[in-house]
């Protein structure tokens, strides 16, 4: 069980402080948005490089950008732990995953709520992680979509069939009342933005989420 707070809900004027506050987490989830793939804009490689320089924990980069074939390798080259791109944003997801792995990062593919999982099941050995979005990507603080749980079950069964150690990540609306639902459906890697940074005690929120995922 891995907890990865999303700095989308951090204070952008105090990013170093807010990354240091989550040192007990397993990774920091970094949302890159381009105002085209999603209707919101965050930051690009310069900011990711800066966060990477000060972060006590590995960077899990979530690219919500068009033309991932062109841009994703540059993020892998920064030395981040993992690079996630959206299925629709690549013309050749397998080739892009191979490129990301070759550059030393874990390769991860994201599925929006409307994106079916079936076309990717035979390709799973090409990936280290699948991100199942449990909100429409773009903004923090939205409600968890429990109707995505069948996707997680399908992915967990397919990974077992392939005999691979595929991480199943969920992102969107993960909080104390939803994390157990996702864990039960097969998720093992949990992104939480508002549930962590919205808490008075950030470290306690991480510990509580961890306990709720394991329960
Ligand atoms: C949304 C982002 C998420 C966001 C989650 O598109 O991908 O990572 O930060 O925020 P919460 O946990 O508040 O739903
Ligand atoms: Zn995200």
Per the annotation, does 139 bind a ligand?
Answer: yes
- Could you tell me the CA-to-CA distances from 70 to 101, 109, 154, 178, 187 in Å, in that order? 15, 15, 30, 35, 29
CA distance 166 to 160: 9
Residues annotated as part of the active site: 31, 171
ipTM associated with this complex: 0.99
Does residue 5 line the site of ligand 1, with CB under 6 A? no
Sorted by where each begins, the domain ranges of the chain are: 2-214
**What pLDDT was estimated at residue 87?**
98
CATH of 2-214, one of 3.20.20.70, 3.40.1830.10, 2.60.40.60, 1.20.120.80: 3.20.20.70
* 82-94 pLDDT tens trace: 999 999 999 999 9
Q: Which residue owns the Cα nearest ligand 1 atom 10?
A: 140
Is residue 36 annotated as involved in ligand binding? no
Q: Ligand nearest 38 Cα, by number?
A: 1
Per-residue pLDDT at 48: 98
Helix axis angle for 45-54 and 68-76, nearest 10°, is 20
pLDDT in tens, 102-132: 999 999 999 999 999 999 999 999 999 999 9
pLDDT band at 179 (very low <50, low <70, confident <90, very high): very high
- The rounded Cα 204 to chain-centroid distance in angstroms is 21
Output the pLDDT for position 66: 98
Q: What confidence category does residue 6 fall into, taking pLDDT thresholds of 50, 70 and 90?
A: very high
Residue 164 alpha carbon to ligand 1 centre in Å: 27
- 134-172 per-position pLDDT tens digit: 999 999 999 999 999 999 999 999 999 999 999 999 999
User: What confidence score (pLDDT) does residue 133 get?
Assistant: 98
50: its two tokens:
């800066």
Measured in angstroms, how far is the CA atom of residue 193 from the centroid of ligand 2? 8
Helix (H) or strand (E) holding 130: strand 129-133
DSSP secondary structure string for all residues of 179-191: HHHHHHTT--EEE
Q: What is the DSSP letter of 111?
A: E
Q: Look at residue 148 in the predicted model and tell me its pLDDT.
A: 98
Q: What is the pLDDT of residues 9-19, one digit of tens each?
A: 999 999 999 99
74 is in an annotated binding site: no
* Residue from 138, 142, 144, 190 to probe ligand 1 pocket by mutation (most atoms less than 8 Å from CB): 142
Per the prediction, the chain carries an average pLDDT of 98
Beta bridge partners of 167: 129
């Amino acid at each position: 069980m891995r907890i990865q707070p999303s700095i989308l809900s951090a204070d952008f004027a105090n990013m170093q402080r807010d990354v240091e506050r989550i040192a007990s987490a397993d990774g920091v989830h970094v949302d890159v948005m381009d105002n085209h793939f999603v209707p919101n804009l965050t930051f690009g490689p310069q900011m990711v490089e800066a966060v990477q320089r000060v972060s006590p924990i590995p960077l899990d980069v979530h690219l919500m950008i068009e033309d991932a074939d062109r841009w994703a390798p540059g993020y892998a080259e920064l030395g981040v732990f993992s690079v996630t791109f959206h299925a629709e944003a690549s013309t050749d997801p397998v080739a892009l995953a191979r490129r990301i792995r070759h550059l030393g990062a874990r390769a991860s593919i994201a599925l929006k709520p409307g994106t079916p999982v079936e076309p990717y099941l035979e390709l799973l050995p090409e990936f280290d992680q699948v991100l199942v979005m449990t909100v429409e990507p773009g903004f923090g603080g939205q409600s968890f979509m429990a109707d995505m749980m069948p996707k997680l079950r399908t992915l967990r069964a397919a990974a077992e069939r392939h005999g691979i150690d595929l991480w199943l990540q969920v992102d969107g609306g993960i909080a104390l009342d939803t994390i157990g639902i996702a864990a039960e459906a097969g998720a093992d890697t949990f992104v939480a933005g508002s549930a962590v940074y919205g808490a008075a005690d950030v470290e306690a929120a991480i510990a509580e989420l961890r306990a709720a995922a394991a329960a």
